[in-house]
Each structure stands twice: as structure tokens, then as C-alpha cells.
């Protein structure tokens, strides 16, 4: 029987995608029921359940699982969100940076440009907090990297990856060749 033929289920909670408090609808539910356990004269049934919930605002899907057994009361079932993965807020962030970081997470799945702008601000605030010097952000990151003696990893953050750099060089030589051809 499909989910639409069964009684529709709803729950009110914060959508992990758009962060709004919404009424999510369960759009799919699968329960593994063939795991009979037989131990010392006691027999019970147990398995995993999987549910998909859809947000009415952004149509994002949350996939969660739970373990159940005959003897577990419904209110004692613990749910685990499998998708989307939960972003962990770094420990020890000053309150103002943490607030900015959470603001960025709220738009991550809605607007990539806004997320980029807000995350840049998080990095700027972190550099400011750590007293990094420099005019541009990449200079501040390099300064921070040098101070922490970790230039091999942190100092590379402001630079394009070797792959994107290679792509840029290819594009540039292609453009120069095209200009030469069109001018001749």
C-alpha cells in the first residue's frame, strides 16, 4: 500500500534545509519486519525503520531512521537524521562569530551566493578575533597561518586549487589564441 493510500502523517519541527518551523509530511516509510530474534525461550521481532519527510516550504527531504523492537514503546523510539548531514558548529567560537556561522548555515541550501558571502564574513570575523594583519582576506589568512605555524594547510585557503588554476591557464591561452586569430 502506498503512503498516499494510508493515513497521511505530519509533524511540526524545524526543517533542516530552510530552517523554518514547518509541518513536514511523511512521504515514504519503510520498516524491516523480518528480523525475528530468538534468545533463551523469548522471541521478538526487531528491525530498522526509514522515513522520508518533505518540507512544504522548500520541498527539501529529510531522511531519518530508527530502531524498533516489539518491546520498545513508541515514545521511547530514538530517531536519527541520515540526510541532510548535520553541520557541526565548531567548538569555542565567540558568540558573535557563532551567530554569523548559524546565519550562513540557514541559507546554505537555498542560496549558494548568499552562503559564500556570509561564510566569507565568518572568516573575516575569525581573522579579526585572532588579530590577523593584512589588507585583503587572503593576506589575513596567510598572516594567521604564519602565526600558527601551519602555513602548509591554512595558507593555501585563499588560493585557487591547482586544478582550477590549470583550468584558468587553459582558458587564458585559448582566449589569447582566439584574439590573435580574429585580429589577423
Q: Which run of H or of E encompasses 168?
A: helix 162-183
Residues 13-52 that bind Zn ion (CB under 5 A): 15, 17-18
Residue 108 engages Zn ion in binding (rule: CB under 5 A) = no
Q: Give the span between the Cα atoms of 66 and 77, in whole angstroms.
A: 7
Residue 60 engages Zn ion in binding (rule: CB under 5 A) = yes
**Among 26, 51, 52, 55, which residue interacts with Zn ion (rule: CB under 5 A)?**
55
Region near Zn ion per CB under 5 A, out of 4-12, 55-63, 118-126, 163-171: 55-63
Q: What's the N-to-C CA distance of the chain in angstroms?
A: 70
Which triple of cell numbers denotes residue 170? 587553459
Q: Give the span between the Cα atoms of 123 and 129, in whole angstroms.
A: 10
| Least CB distance to Zn ion at residue 6 (A) | 23
Region near Zn ion per CB under 5 A, out of 1-9, 58-66, 142-150, 171-179: 58-66
Amino acid at each position: 500500500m502506498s503512503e498516499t493510500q494510508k493515513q497521511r502523517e505530519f509533524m511540526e519541527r524545524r526543517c533542516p534545509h530552510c530552517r523554518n518551523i514547518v509541518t513536514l509530511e511523511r512521504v515514504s516509510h519503510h520498516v524491516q519486519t523480518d528480523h525475528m530474534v530468538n534468545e533463551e525461550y523469548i522471541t521478538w521481532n526487531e528491525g530498522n525503520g526509514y522515513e522520508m519527510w518533505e518540507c512544504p516550504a522548500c520541498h527539501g527531504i529529510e531522511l531519518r531512521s530508527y530502531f524498533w523492537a516489539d518491546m520498545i514503546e513508541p515514545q521511547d523510539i530514538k530517531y536519527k537524521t541520515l540526510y541532510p548531514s548535520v553541520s557541526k558548529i565548531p567548538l569555542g567560537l565567540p558568540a558573535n562569530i557563532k551567530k554569523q556561522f548559524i546565519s550562513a548555515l540557514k541559507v546554505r541550501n537555498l542560496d549558494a551566493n548568499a552562503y559564500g558571502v556570509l561564510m566569507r564574513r565568518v572568516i573575516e570575523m575569525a581573522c579579526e578575533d585572532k588579530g590577523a594583519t593584512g589588507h585583503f582576506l587572503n593576506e589575513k589568512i596567510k598572516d594567521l597561518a604564519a602565526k600558527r605555524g601551519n602555513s602548509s594547510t591554512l595558507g593555501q585557503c585563499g588560493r585557487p586549487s591547482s586544478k582550477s588554476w590549470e583550468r584558468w591557464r587553459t582558458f587564458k591561452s585559448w582566449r589569447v589564441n582566439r584574439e590573435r586569430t580574429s585580429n589577423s
